Structure 1
Amino acid sequence: MAVDIPGLVSVIVFYICILGIGVWGSRKSRKVEKACTGTKSEISIVGGRNINVLVGIFTMTATWVGGGYIMGTAEAVYSPSQGLIWALGLPAYAVCFFLGGLFFAKPMRSKRYVTMLDPFQEHYGKAFTAIILIPALLSDILWVACILAALGGTMSIILGLSSTISIIISAAVSIIYTFLGGLYSVAYTDIIQLCFIFVSLWLCVPFLVLSPAVNVISQTAPFNQSHGDAWLGRLELEDSGKWVDEILLLALGGLSYQALYQRILSAASSVQAQITCYAAAGTVFIMGIPSVIIGVMAASADWNQTAYGLPSPFERGDAGKILPLALQNLTPTWVGVLGIGSVAAAVMSSMDSALLSSASMFTQNIYRATLRKQASERELQWVIRVSVLLVGIAGTGLAFGDDSVAALWILSGDLIYVAIFPQLVCVLHFQRVNTYGAISGFVVGLLLRGLSGEPILEIPPLLLYPGWREENNVITQYFPYRTVAMFSSLTCIFLVSWMVDLIFNHQLVPQSCDILKVFKDKKETDGEETPDLREDVTRSSFDPNHM
């Protein structure tokens, strides 16, 4: 396939503009460093805690509106085995932000934490915090891989450009401006990217609707599961467990991303953080509507009237690329180029957040708290930059696989839903939990999740729940097994914490058995663990005039 030179030039110009905005954001970050009393590393992480509401809404929405969200939604709507009812991202992410504003924004922002892991470090100490970082880091890497894979597939179809080259260039641009400017570069590029996504995708919609190859929606058979026009989909009783599992994973798992709390903690106040969450709940839903329409149009199209021909994309196994295929075959060339620009913008707006997310947690909660307590600010900034680079390289490497974008999208939230969400709920809202309960819940959750298997990683299930099916020698669980693992973890944290508390406080066993020193010499232990974080929080307090 020949390379579309005008389209390629347009994308290059767009990338240069984004990179320029990122560099400008890095300069603004340096100005804030001079104006604020906070440390340079924390200005990179939480932006001086003076990101205004409008910028906060833009950057929070842009973080979730990534390649997985845009292409995964279109893929779900188009696929005859799923349909509109399986486009779970729109309602799930709206619920995620609403719950974030209602239950999580205030306790996190009011205590002036710097990362999502700070309450763990404060409550459990450094060792367990390092354990919690692992699933968070893996999730961010999978998220990067998901959104880069979405972009690579889009560029290869519309521009005729190698997906490998597309992934490498896009990753490099995101890494560079995140490397230079931290949260300020990320936030201000997000504004431009989100605006471009909104305008370009909505501009594509009329051309798709008016395409001669697209049938009138009212004349299609939205419930017909044997044809490619089954765009509405059906939710059978035996599939309801899987549907509930995935929507809860996206909604509640989203509350366990550092990227969410990076925006919450960068707000000037707790109230502003809550407003940002509530507003983003509406904007993220609106941003997904064009992808739904594109999926419906693709499902309603007669592909025999297009250059793509028959068999259909679903029959060829190209459902994961339906968005770029629809733009290429059902719209004029220049409209398709705009569409690829929207995917590129979505990819970078999410990738930069994932990169900074992992870098922030490692630098603040591992390197600064444990490895190098006396590290200089210059050293910490370089640790952030190197971490951004390493996470970017890891995610880029995984993006070259052939897995479904929607599948990677789900998998990226799987680990944190099971391993981090129940822990975060307990540490923020139930102060009686202790390290014994936290470790037990962590192990139980991951054990149940691992025994349930994972088709993407070709891990066969050892624990079969009711309703499982075997298709093409692959066993699929239709029971909400992820949610079972999450609730089991949550229950275990409560029960074990309560039992251990009862045992030691009533002296049923000698305190010498308290190997984690949760109860033994508690005051002394608090004096060792908590001040490190408290001192950092106090030291990172910014001038009230900038709040």
Structure 2
Amino acid sequence: MALNIAGVIAVVVFYILILGTGIWASRKAKEAQKTSTGDRTEIVLLGDRKINLLVGIFTMTATWVGGGFLLGVAEAVYTPNMGLIWALMPIQCSVSFIIGGLFFAKPMRDNKYVTMFDPFQKKYGNVLCGALVLPALLVDVLWVSCTLLSLGITMTVILELPFTYSVCISAAVAIVYTLLGGLYSVAYTDIIQLALIFFSLWLCVPFLLLNPASPNIAQTAFNNTVQAPWVGSLEKDVVWRWIDDGLMLALGSVSFQCFQQRTLSASSSRTAQLTCFAAAVMIVILGIPPVLIGAVAAESQDWNLTLYGSPPPYERGQQMMVLPLTLQNLTPSFISVIGVGAVAAAVMSSTDSALLSATSVFSSNIYKNILRKQASDREMQWVFRITVVVVGVAGTSITFFTKSTLVLWLLGADVSYTLILPHLVSVLFFKVTNEYGAMVGYAVGLTVRILLGEKSIGLPVVLHLPGCTLEDGIYVQKFAFRTVAMLCTQITIVACSALALVLFNSGLLPERWDIYKVKRQSAASPAHAVTQNLKEEAKGDAECDENKDALSLQPML
């Protein structure tokens, strides 16, 4: 097939529009640097903490509705033995935003942290914080790969543009405007990108459903005699796996730097919370079109009615390409090109967020606070630029080694869920947490997660949980193994932290062994606390009496 010239021109126009918006936003960032008395790092990474509610909703939603989100949802709905019931991302990500708004946004924003890892660095010190930053950087690199892969697949199918060109050009555009304006460029380009995603996807839906070759998915969904393939089913032996994936997406997203960066950049704590709640609604609405696309593809019994022919995509191992394939074959050509624009917008909105996220963590928590504490603003600007390029190149490289966006999405969420989330919860909500518990929890959590295995990347199962079975010569976990690893990390952190306090405060271990000085940092004993409270109350009563005396003397004076 020949190159789709009209489609390529449309994508080029879109990229020019995005790049122009990024350049305009970069000027706004430079003006903020001149007029603001705040830290330049906060201006670049957090938009000087002046992101209002409307812009915040757009950038929060656009960050999550990426190419991996769109293609991953369509792939899950289409794939046999999965279906809608396994397309967890829209609902679970919505739940994640609600949880983040209720419990995490306010304490993080009130403390005016620059990155999610600032409380770690404050509580644990540089070494342990550095160890936690590594998996976070891996998550962002995987996210960049996931989004670029989805765009490369879509452009290859619909525009007949070579995969390498699609990925590299898209990565270059995202890198350029992220370099120019930091969060300002990312946030303001997200407005255009999310608007394009919304209108483009919903424009494709009527053409898709009204095509004569498209099945009636509503009729099959409510057929009481035959279960619709796109609805899916939940067998008893996979219930725990379904719960595990749902919890990972609902809770793990809270510990993404991308999420926390949006709440930290809000103009106030209240704005941060409202942003989360509004984005929770938006992400469900934007999850409907890829569900419908996957459903139509799953119900299409005869692909010979289209130019694609037979066998269907699943039998060719092309289920990850089902969204662009369905748009290409079941909608007019100009509509499929608009669909490419939607995917391109989604990719750019998530890629730039992941680039900025990784750059924020490395430049602020590693370079500035560990490697070069005396680094100047000019030096930090160069660190920011170099990191954006390195992360972009690394993420782009991974796209050439896998073809499943769903796998990359799940791997990134897995790392965040099992390792980073327990430490974030511990630092924010468990005062007993200290360096000893964090260190042991990190080691235990990482070890347990590796021993539990991961089929998608060929990691063998060593630690067998209940229900673990042998399938095609490979052991597969049936239990909620990711949640088990997360709970092991969480329980170990709190238990070992409390144990360390008891051992040092009771004198069972000599104070000279307390290398982290947790005995000095620990809270006072209950008896001492009561005594201190009584003293403070007595002091307050005395001050009140003095004030009353002073007031009673005023008439006399």
TM-score normalised according to structure 1 size: 0.93
Measured after TM superposition, the shift of residue 520 of structure 1 is: 5.8
> 1:67: which partner in 2?
67
CA drift of 1:456 comes to: 2.6
**How many Å separate the matches in 2 of 1:405 and 1:234?**
22
Q: CA deviation at 1:517?
A: 3.1
Provide the residue aligned with 1:393 in structure 2: 393
User: Displacement, 1:226?
Assistant: 11
Cα RMSD, aligned residues only: 1.7
Specify every segment of 5 or more residues in structure 2 that has no aligned partner in the other structure, as ranges. Answer: 524-557
Matches within 5 A, 1:156-171: 156-171=156-171
Q: Tell me the alpha carbon deviations over residues 204-248 of structure 1, each in whole angstroms, 9 at most, x when there is no partner.
A: 000110111112224437899999x60000011111111111111
**Counterpart in the other structure of 1:270:** 269
| Residues 319, 225 of structure 1: alpha-carbon distance in 2 compared, 3 angstrom cutoff | farther
Shift of 1:519: 2.8
Which residue of the partner structure matches residue 296 of structure 2? 297
Distance across 1 between alignment mates of 2:320 and 2:195? 25
**Distance 1:521-1:336 versus aligned 2 partners, 3 A rule:** closer
- Output the CA distance in 2 between the equivalents of 1:187 and 1:333: 31
Aligned residue number for residue 235 of structure 1 = 234
> Residue 465 of structure 1: SS of its match in structure 2?
coil
3-state SS of 1:320 partner:
helix
Q: Residue by residue, what CA displacement relative to the aligned partner does 1:130-157 show, whole Å, maximum 9, x if unpaired?
A: 1110000001111111111111111000
Partner residue of 2:124? 124
CA shift, 1:522, in A, is 8.1
- Report the Cα offset of residue 484 of structure 1: 0.2
1:319 and 2:326 aligned: no
Structure 1 partner of 2:191: 191
Alpha-carbon displacement from aligned partner over 1:276-302 (angstroms, at most 9, x marks no partner): 111111111111111111111111223
CA distance in 1, matches of 2:18, 2:119: 35
CA contact (8 A) 1:81 1:225 kept: no
Aligned equivalent of 2:94: 94
Return the index of the structure with the highest Cα Rg: 2
Q: C-alpha distance in 2, partners of 1:387/1:348?
A: 18
Alpha carbons 2:407, 2:456 under 8 Å: kept: yes
C-alpha displacement of 1:39? 2.0
Residue aligned with 2:402, SS: coil
Contact in 2 for aligned 1:223/1:231 (Cα 8 Å): no
Cα offset for 1:432?
1.4
Taking the aligned partners of 1:233 and 1:115, their CA distance within structure 2 comes to 40
Q: CA deviation at 1:378?
A: 1.1
CA 366–218 in structure 1, closer or farther in 2 if over 3 Å, else same:
closer
Aligned twin of 1:330: 330
Q: CA, structure 1 residues 521+54, in 2 after alignment: closer, same or farther (shift >3 Å)?
A: closer
Distance in 2 separating the partners of 1:313 and 1:225:
26
* Shift, 1:472, TM fit: 3.6
Match for residue 174 of structure 2? 174
Structure 1 residue 84: Cα displacement: 0.4
1:60 to partner: Cα distance: 0.4
Name the structure 2 match of 1:261: 260
Residues 476-525 of structure 1: CA deviation (Å, up to 9, x unaligned): 322110000001110011110111101111111111111333336889xx
The residue type equivalent to 1:236 in the other structure is E
The one-character-per-residue Cα deviations of 1:345-398 (angstroms, maximum 9, x if unpaired) are: 101100100001011111111111111111111111111111111111100000
Distance 1:406 1:122, change over 3 A: same
Aligned to 2:444: 444
Aligned mates of 1:219, 1:183 — CA distance in 2: 46
Q: CA separation in 1, counterparts of 2:496 and 2:521?
A: 20
Contact 2:244 2:481 in 1 (8 A): yes
CA separation in 2, counterparts of 1:522 and 1:299?
A: 58
Secondary structure in 2 aligned to 1:475?
strand
Asked whether the equivalents of residues 222 and 231 of structure 1 are also in contact (C-alpha less than 8 Å), the reply is no
Shift of 1:42: 1.8
Q: What's the offset of the Cα at 1:75?
A: 0.6
52 and 107 in structure 1: CA distance in 2 versus 1, 3 angstrom threshold: same
Give 2:182's aligned amino acid: G
SS in 2 for 1:55: helix
Shift of 1:473: 3.5
Number of the residue aligned with 1:407 = 407
Paired residue type of 2:306: T
Structure 1 residues not aligned, in runs of 5+: 524-547
* Partner residue, 1:279: 278
State whether residues 363 and 384 of structure 1, in contact with CA within 8 Å, keep that contact through their aligned partners in structure 2. yes
CA contact (8 A) 1:88 1:247 kept: yes
The Cα of 1:458 is off from its aligned counterpart by 1.5
Counterpart of 1:370? 370
- Indicate if the aligned counterparts of 2:252 and 2:417 stay in contact, CA closer than 8 A: yes
1:25-52 deviation line (CA, Å, top 9, x unaligned): 1111011112211122221111011111
Shift of residue 459, structure 1, vs aligned partner = 1.4
Letter in 2 for 1:241: W
Aligned to 2:542: none
Amino acid in the other structure paired with 2:292: I
Q: Distance in 1 between matches of 2:341 and 2:226?
A: 34
Q: Note if contact 2:501-2:518 (Cα within 8 Å) is conserved in structure 1.
A: no
Distance 2:193 2:170 in 1: 13
Q: Quick one: distance in 2 between partners of 1:146 and 1:195?
A: 21
Cα separation, 2, equivalents of 1:221 and 1:86: 15
Report if aligned partners of 1:59, 1:187 keep a CA contact under 8 Å in 2. yes
Question: Match for 2:249: what amino acid?
Answer: L
SS in 2 for 1:420: helix
The TM-score, its normalising length taken from structure 2, stands at 0.91
- Distance (Å, rounded) in 1 between the aligned partners of 2:452 and 2:521: 40
1:175-220 superposed Cα distances (whole Å, 9 cap, x missing partner): 0000111000000000000000000000000011011111222443
- Closer, same or farther in 2 for the Cα pair 1:325/1:94, shift >3 Å? same
Which amino acid is 1:90 matched to?
P
Letter of the structure 2 residue corresponding to residue 414 of structure 1? D
AA of the residue aligned to 1:424 = L
> Contact conserved, 2:501 with 2:522, CA < 8 A, in 1?
no
Q: Give per-residue Cα distances to partners, 1:446-474, cap 9 Å, x unaligned.
A: 11110111223221111122223343444
Paired residues of 1:223 and 1:234 also in contact (CA < 8 A): no
* Residue 249 of structure 1: aligned partner: 248
Q: 1:521 to 1:409 in 2, by over 3 A?
A: closer
CA contact (8 A) 2:115 2:257 kept: yes
Provide the residue aligned with 2:461 in structure 1: 461
- SS of the residue 1:233 aligns to: coil
1:402 is displaced (CA, Å) by 2.9
